[in-house]
């Protein structure tokens, strides 16, 4: 007989939402683990670290409380994008693998948005951390606090 997993409703199930803190004049060639502010965390599995460049110690870190499949999402708004930026990546780094989007337009403009939605297989204790990377160019990009976040929930 297969074991079953009971997922409680929204009041008790694994679910979290954090918004990102603003990041101004982000340096190129550096991974930026995104720090933030917790909106809710039903099971206290979201750690709100400081922005920085090291996985597991910087940025928002979600630690899976149980083994399962998790719907995880990041959304991001960039402003003040320089024409010499090369390319950008929005990355969700987990203990098992990295998921990413990749974009380049070569044109300076006021703003750009991106999002990443994944279903990730995670074991209890695995971590997931959002980060952003700009390949080259002027350190001018700003990450908007109002339109940027990280959220997730256990789906089974």
Residue 7 has pLDDT above 50, yes or no: no
Q: Rounded mean pLDDT of 118-138?
A: 88
Residue 10 has pLDDT above 50, yes or no: no
Q: What is the 3-state secondary structure of 66-132?
A: CCEEEEEEEEEEEEEECCCCCCEEEEEEECCCEEEEEECCCCCEEEEEEEEEEEEEECCCCEEEEEE
User: In this structure, which topology does domain 18-154 adopt according to CATH?
Assistant: Jelly Rolls (2.60.120)
Residue 138 has pLDDT above 50, yes or no: yes
- Residue spans of the domains in the chain: they are 18-154
Residue 123 has pLDDT above 80, yes or no: yes
Whole-model pTM? Answer: 0.80
């Amino acid at each position: 007989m297969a074991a079953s997993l009971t997922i409680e409703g929204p009041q008790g199930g694994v679910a979290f939402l954090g918004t990102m803190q603003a990041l101004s004049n982000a340096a190129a060639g550096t991974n930026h683990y995104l720090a933030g502010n917790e909106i809710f965390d039903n099971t206290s599995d979201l750690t709100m670290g400081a922005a920085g460049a090291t996985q597991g110690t910087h940025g928002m870190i979600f630690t899976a409380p149980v083994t399962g499949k998790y719907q995880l999402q990041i959304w991001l708004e960039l402003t003040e994008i320089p024409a010499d930026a090369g390319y950008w990546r929005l990355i969700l780094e987990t203990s098992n693998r990295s998921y990413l989007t990749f974009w380049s337009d070569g044109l300076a403009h006021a703003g750009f948005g991106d999002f990443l939605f994944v279903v990730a297989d995670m074991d209890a204790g695995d971590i997931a951390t959002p980060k952003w990377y700009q390949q080259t160019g002027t350190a001018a990009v700003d990450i908007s606090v109002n339109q940027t976040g990280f959220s997730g929930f256990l789906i089974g």
